[in-house]
Amino acid sequence: LLAMLRLGTQGVEEMWHNGEMFPNGLFFLKYVMQAALIGTLIDLWRLGEHIMEKLRKIFSRNTMESRRAEQIDPFMFGYEYQYILLMFSITLFYAVVTPVILPVGLVFMCLKHFVDKYNLIYIYPKAPESDNQLTQRVIG
DSSP 16-52: HHHT-S-TTHHHHHHHHHHIIIIIHHHHHHTHHHHHH
Number of H helices, E strands in the chain: 8, 0
Per-residue model confidence as pLDDT tens digits over 93-132: 989 888 899 999 999 999 999 999 999 888 887 776 667 7
Mean pLDDT, residues 49-63 taken together: 89
> At residue 4, does pLDDT exceed 50?
no
Rounded mean pLDDT of the chain? 83
DSSP 94-114: HTTT-TTHHHHHHHHHHHHHH
Predicted confidence (pLDDT) per residue in 6-54, tens digit: 555 566 566 556 655 556 778 888 899 999 999 999 999 988 888 988 9
> Given this model, what pLDDT does residue 117 score?
93
Global model pTM greater than 0.95: no
Q: Measuring CA to CA, how many Å separate 63 from each of 27, 52, 58?
A: 48, 17, 11
CA distances (Å), origin 115, targets 28, 90, 108, 127: 22, 21, 10, 19
Confidence of residue 70 (pLDDT cuts 50, 70, 90): confident
